[in-house]
Amino acid sequence: MGVVMKNIYGCTLEDLENYFMKIGEKKFKATQVFEWLYKKRIHSFEEMRNVKKNTIEQMQRDFCMDTLSIEDKKVGKDVYKYLFTLKDNEHVEAVLMEHDYGKSLCVSTQVGCNMGCMFCESGRRKRIRNLKTEEMVLQFLKIEADLNIRITHVVLMGIGEPFDNYENVMAFISILNTGKGIDLGARHITVSTSGVIPKIQEFMKEKRQVNLAISLHAPNNEIRNKIMPINKAYPLNELFPVLKEYSKKTNRRLTFEYILLSGINDSEACALELAQRIRGMNAYVNLIPYNETSHLEFKKSKTDTIMRFYDLLKKQDIQVTIRREFGSEVDAACGQLRSKYEEEKHE
Ligand code: SAH
Ligand code: SF4
């Protein structure tokens, strides 16, 4: 077996600084290389014109620059959905949404997901593997290049549980966030988790201003246990004290994502119980109209049920928004395009 070369897009600025010091070069070479990669967006080492020839040759021996290929692209109103093929022929997707406040990219973090949420396409297939840092960075770079745009926001809400791939996700955030790299403000980056408590605790210590969203989807353990198996490992009575500590330590406002599933979690009693649970926290609820998938029995709540749920939370003084629906015509929900593609391929 050949030696697996590290991909240059998987290196944080710090990784590259260490690399250059190790090969007897000045640390600031890392900044120059980062500028070529992320400001000038070159595609080969030879294009790094202010780097000496023998350093370039050394880098060519030590790093690869392999990239992802775009397998499929679907375009809807204000939404572009990409399916990528990875080097080992696995697939992941990313979705670019045009909001009035900017262009937001939803990135995948794993191939499949082990959390097994009942309503989610990604959870239908077990995690095959974690995405490497470069595979997340390249979703971003490829889409910016393909659409000739600057992405203003990144949400880690595609396929996978980011906190089940913690180190690579943190390196990705570092590359996004560093001024020498992509230079995206931390407040423009959101990580979404189904509630992996030990990783929330670790994340709390990172001291990054990145937004944290929690996929709550139920006001109590009884309902949450039925739709999110992770709740058995990390139930709400253990999750909430950690979230309260998170708010206190970071001073950041939390987001609770709440998909409204008809007849399951959308009753008035659920709204009141939810309000009760989060009252007094620095948090808001983002109500998500369910994107129905072809395989699962869950149904989207009716519009008036969604509105009533919203009003009830408002009346309870809970900050609440309803997520705008994007691209049901392009199967924009988490994991749907990949799932369809794999099925067609295997038919
Ligand atoms: N694993 C992480 C992040 C990826 S999922 C998490 O669960 O938070 C991102 C969000 O999409 C989650 O809130 C998830 O519950 C939601 N989601 C999954 N399937 C969906 C669907 N069919 N319609 C609407 N939202 C969905
Ligand atoms: Fe995984 Fe998130 Fe889907 Fe649950 S909702 S299966 S955690 S990707």
Domains, the chain, ranges and CATH?
6-64 (1.10.150.530), 69-345 (3.20.20.70)
Cβ proximity of 86 and 134 under 8 Å: no
- Residue bearing the CA closest to ligand 1, atom 5: 157
pLDDT reported for residue 174: 98
Report which DSSP code applies to 325.
P
Cβ proximity of 6 and 13 under 8 Å: no
- Structure tokens belonging to residue 260: 């409204």
> Tokens 């408002």 belong to which residue?
314
The pLDDT of 7-31, averaged and rounded, is 96
Please tell me the distance from the alpha carbon of residue 228 to that of residue 194, in angstroms, as a whole number: 8
Instruction: Read off the pLDDT of residues 220-262 as tens digits, 9 standing for 90 and up.
Output: 999 999 999 999 999 999 999 999 999 999 999 999 999 999 9
Strand partners, 92: 84
Cβ–ligand 2 contact at 120 (below 6 Å): yes
- Residue 191 host element (H or E): strand 189-193
Cβ–ligand 1 contact at 215 (below 6 Å): yes
Cβ–ligand 2 contact at 113 (below 6 Å): yes
Please tell me the distance from the alpha carbon of residue 283 to that of residue 243, in angstroms, as a whole number: 10
Tell which residue, 64, 49, 46, 68, has the closest CA to residue 8: 64
Cβ proximity of 275 and 318 under 8 Å: yes
Cβ proximity of 250 and 219 under 8 Å: no
CA distances from 335 to 46, 118, 126, 188, 299 (A): 37, 13, 12, 23, 17
- Global confidence as pTM: 0.94
pLDDT at 295 over 70: no
More confident residue, 197 or 345: 197
- Structure tokens belonging to residue 147: 């659409």
